[in-house]
């Protein structure tokens, strides 16, 4: 075999067959528009992983109901959509070894984002866009181990912003997001919005993030 042919075969065959067989617990895969944070408005394919190491009282995700899917099956689902932006979400996606799926997707030109609670460190080079949504306003004894990233997005429930004084140094964009609970009344959610708006006005290094997908009635 010539050197060129050998090189082409190496490139074309750069997928590791074992990566395709890696199994993940997947709650759902869906195509939607990012509704919150910095990349709001950009269409993404969301891959929601099962399982979480926290139990936040406002959590609206059934992360304990999932299917076992191989990377091959996940890729088939993802490729059905005309979209090159992926979000790994959950649950807590970093409870998984994400290298196999990340490698397969990146080799196909996908941009990889993650939404994580920050309790598990994210290896360098794994993800293109890191959004950390810490829950230490609820779990003060669970340390935030991923302390750098593109976006820090905190659900605001009245906690003092001083608690983010160190953490926020590692992030490019800072967001406060009202705690929206669809079990609560319109008035209660309205009070949460108004409280967060006032805090952002008084602390302009933070921006307001709204879960616009919920207003639109989309996933």
Q: Which of the residues are catalytic?
A: 46, 52, 56, 59-61, 115, 213
Output the smallest distance, CB 46 to ligand SF4, in A: 13
Using CA atoms of 84, 170, 147, 32 in order, give the dihedral in degrees to the nearest 10. Answer: -20
User: Residues 6 or more apart from 135 whose CB is under 8 A from it?
Assistant: 54, 56, 117, 142, 155
Q: Does 48 bind ligand SF4 (CB under 6 A)?
A: no
Contact 189, 181 (CB under 8 A): yes
Q: Does 150 bind ligand SF4 (CB under 6 A)?
A: no
Would you give the binding string for ligand SF4 spanning residues 74-113, x where CB under 6 A is met? ----------------xxx---------------------
> CA 46 to CA 87: how far, in whole Å?
5
Q: Does 179 bind ligand SF4 (CB under 6 A)?
A: no
Q: Does 153 bind ligand SF4 (CB under 6 A)?
A: no
Q: Measure CA of the first residue to CA of the last residue in the chain; give whole Å.
A: 51
Contact 112, 98 (CB under 8 A): no
Q: Does 134 bind ligand SF4 (CB under 6 A)?
A: no
Output the smallest distance, CB 52 to ligand SF4, in A: 3
> CA 182 to CA 48: how far, in whole Å?
20
Q: Which residue in 32, 40, 61, 189 binds ligand SF4 (CB under 6 A)?
A: 61
For ligand SF4, the binding residues (CB under 6 A) are 52, 54-56, 59, 61, 63, 90-92, 117, 135
């Amino acid at each position: 075999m010539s050197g060129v042919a050998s090189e082409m075969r190496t490139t074309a065959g750069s997928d590791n067959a074992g990566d395709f067989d890696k199994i993940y617990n997947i709650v759902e895969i869906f195509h939607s528009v990012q509704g919150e944070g910095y990349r709001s408005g950009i269409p993404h394919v969301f891959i929601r992983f099962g399982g979480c190491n926290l139990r936040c009282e406002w959590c609206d995700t059934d992360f304990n109901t999932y299917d076992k899917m191989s990377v091959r099956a996940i890729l088939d689902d993802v490729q059905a959509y005309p979209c090159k932006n992926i979000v790994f979400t959950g649950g807590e996606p970093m409870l998984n070894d994400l290298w196999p799926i990340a490698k397969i997707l990146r080799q196909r030109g996908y941009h990889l984002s993650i939404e994580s609670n920050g309790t598990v460190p994210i290896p360098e080079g794994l993800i293109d866009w890191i959004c950390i949504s810490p829950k230490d306003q609820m779990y003060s004894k669970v340390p935030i181990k991923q302390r750098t990233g593109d976006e820090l997005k905190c659900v605001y429930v009245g906690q003092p912003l001083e608690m983010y004084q160190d953490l926020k140094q590692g992030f490019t964009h800072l967001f406060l997001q009202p705690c929206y609970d669809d079990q609560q009344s319109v008035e209660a959610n309205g009070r949460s919005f108004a409280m967060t708006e006032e805090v952002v006005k008084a602390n302009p290094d933070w921006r307001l993030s709204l879960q616009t997908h919920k207003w639109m009635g989309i996933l």
